[in-house]
Amino acid sequence: MGMTKRRDFCREVGLSRTTHRRVRTVDRDKPGKQIHSLVSHVSCPPGSVRFPTRPRRTVHASAPTTPMTVHLLCGPDEVSREDAVRELVAGVRLPSDFADVNTSRFDATSYTPEAFRFACEAMPFLAECRVVICRGVAASLGAREARAAARRSTNGTADDEPSSGQVVARPAKGKRGASAPTAPAKTPEQALADYLPEIPAATLVLFVEDEAPASATALGTAFTRPGMVTRNFPIPEGAGLERWLRTRAQEFAGPGAPSSGAITADAARLLASYVGTDMRLASNEVRKLVTYAGPGRAVEARDVELLSPQTTATAKIWELSQAILDGQRSKAATRLAQLLDASDMRPEQVISSLRSAITQHLSVQELEQRGQPDATIARELRMQPFAVKMVRERASRLGERALIYLHRRTLEADLSLKTGRQAPRLAIELLVVELSARAVQAMQLQAQRRG
């Protein structure tokens, strides 16, 4: 390399004269790429060496046509709630090949603040936006905060150590390394509430809950801010349930439905009396009936009577157990007579079903005492979320001792039937009257204790 070229090269990379001489000395013995090796290892002030580099290409994510928002979908009508989830996700129009890549899902066990933030702020992959679905997360954080508040009220002081998932602010250091006072730690619920307004516009976040967070909580306040959308899905009753069934039947029938509707008013009224408040069961029954009727024919009342005998028995067993445990003696006797006369169920089967219902109440009460939220209880016991709330409230009114007594009496009655000591029908009728009366006494006793 000539002197002129060497001087130009050193001037281009910003080396000093001393370094220039070193380059020339090395160049005499080992020319060529040894110069580059020396230059790459030489110690220079930051920014003084200016190697010619290829310009870096900046990739900008395309902004979505409409900003995404945070949705809270809550309520016991699980079927309508899930329909809303599918509708919102379909409206995003994620590419079918990359839908899973651009969708993140969390529940009460998998949620962490760090993972949720990472999922919300991740770059959409070959799509305009991302979708994050959280099921039961708000309820889990609320239950955790309630337990922590109960511990603080019991101990009279705040917890010394942050709980799992608690966001702790690092202490700031002064000039000499002295630590400043530590900022108060945020609870996971408060951290999530503070982060919601910071979610990028290219991320659609759906919180799916059995019930809305209490308005006094941090999340309850956060979901009322601008940009948050809250939709409630209550259980329809009476005429509302009949309209729900007719709409559902029309959706299942599709274009082949008759102009007058896919299900008659009498059939919808009869089916509504069978399914009660179990919306998942109602949806399945409507689908079955519409499939049986076929294109061009509406579901009639005789179809419901023909295809839903098990539904009828299940609904009446549920109503019977509710009436007994609520202490409604006359209603329980009426439901028992309807069940034995209008179905093929034997008294032994009725007693077994009652015992299962009481066991369910005991199981829900035990899981609640462990601090489990309703969503976890529903998953563990394979129950509908709305049913968990009803059972939990009834078990609280009765008390554990009364439930254990009722369970023991069903076992004794079952043994009495199997040994033939009593006539089956008489035994079940006496048992229903006794259990209803005992439930009334238990609720009165619990009310006195709380009062």
Has residue 426 been placed in a domain?
yes
Has residue 27 been placed in a domain?
yes
Q: Are residues 11 and 143 in the same domain?
A: no
Residue 76 CA to residue 107 CA, distance in Å, equals: 17
Q: Are residues 351 and 409 in the same domain?
A: yes
Q: Are residues 437 and 405 in the same domain?
A: yes
Q: Are residues 208 and 302 in the same domain?
A: no
State which of 256, 286, 307 marks the end of a domain.
Answer: 307
Has residue 276 been placed in a domain?
yes
Has residue 163 been placed in a domain?
no
Half-sphere exposure of 69 (CA within 13 A, CB side): 15
Verdict on whether the full-model pTM lies above 0.75: no
Q: Are residues 398 and 295 in the same domain?
A: no
- H, E, C per residue of the chain: CCHHHHHHHHHHHCCCHHHHHHHHHHHHHCCCHHHHHHHHHCCCCCCCCCCCCCCCCCCCCCCCCCCCCEEEEECCCHHHHHHHHHHHHHHHCCCHHHCCCCEEEECCCCCCHHHHHHHHHCCCCCCCCEEEEEECHHHHHHHHHHHHHHHHHHHCCCCCCCCCCCECCCCCECCCCCECCCCCCECHHHHHHHHHHHCCCCEEEEEEECCCCCCCCHHHHHCCCCCEEEEECCCCCCHHHHHHHHHHHHHHHHHHCCCCCCECHHHHHHHHHHHCCCHHHHHHHHHHHHHHHCCCCCECHHHHHHHCHHHHHHHHHHHHHHHHHCCCHHHHHHHHHHHHHHCCCCHHHHHHHHHHHHHHHHHHHHHHHCCCCHHHHHHHHCCCHHHHHHHHHHHHHHCHHHHHHHHHHHHHHHHHHHHCCCCHHHHHHHHHHHHHHHHHHHHHHHHHHHC
User: Per the structure block, which two tokens stand in for 96?
Assistant: 């079918």
User: Per the structure block, which two tokens stand in for 340?
Assistant: 């034995």
Instruction: Give pLDDT, residue 10.
Output: 52
Q: Are residues 198 and 327 in the same domain?
A: no
Residue owning tokens 């337990």: 147
Closest CA to 426 of 361, 337, 357, 362: 337
Instruction: Give pLDDT, residue 179.
Output: 55
Q: Are residues 218 and 365 in the same domain?
A: no
Q: Are residues 250 and 295 in the same domain?
A: yes
CB 121 within 8 Å of CB 195? no
What CATH number is given to the structural domain containing 196?
Answer: 3.40.50.300
Q: Are residues 265 and 384 in the same domain?
A: no
Bridge partner list, 186: 167
Quote the number of domains for the chain: 4
State which of 292, 307, 322 marks the end of a domain.
Answer: 307
Instruction: Give pLDDT, residue 374.
Output: 82
Q: Are residues 330 and 357 in the same domain?
A: yes
Has residue 159 been placed in a domain?
no
Q: Are residues 99 and 228 in the same domain?
A: yes
Has residue 172 been placed in a domain?
no
Q: Are residues 267 and 327 in the same domain?
A: no
Bridge partner list, 207: 72, 134
Residue 85 CA to residue 105 CA, distance in Å, equals: 12
Q: Supply the range of the domain harboring residue 35.
A: 3-41
Has residue 59 been placed in a domain?
no
Instruction: Give pLDDT, residue 167.
Output: 54
User: Per the structure block, which two tokens stand in for 290?
Assistant: 């519409």
What CATH number is given to the structural domain containing 293?
Answer: 1.10.8
Under the phi-then-psi rule, with left for phi > 0, alpha for psi from -120 to 50, and beta for the rest, what region is 294?
A: left
CB 303 within 8 Å of CB 292? yes
Q: Please enumerate in sequence order all residues whose Cβ is within 8 A of that of 433, keeping only pairs 6 or more positions apart, or say none.
A: 329, 332, 333
pLDDT in tens, the chain (451 residues): 565 655 665 555 454 444 444 444 444 444 444 444 333 344 444 444 444 444 443 334 444 444 568 999 999 899 999 999 999 999 999 999 999 999 999 998 899 999 999 999 999 999 999 999 999 999 889 888 878 777 777 776 545 445 545 555 555 555 555 555 555 677 889 999 999 999 999 999 999 998 899 888 899 999 998 889 999 999 888 889 999 999 999 999 988 788 888 999 999 998 887 787 778 889 999 999 999 999 889 999 999 988 876 666 676 788 889 899 999 999 899 888 888 876 667 888 889 889 999 999 999 999 988 888 887 888 788 776 677 888 999 999 999 999 999 999 999 988 888 887 778 888 899 999 999 999 999 999 988 887 6
- Helices 309-325 & 279-293, crossing angle to 10 degrees? 160
Has residue 403 been placed in a domain?
yes
State which of 288, 307, 326 marks the end of a domain.
Answer: 307
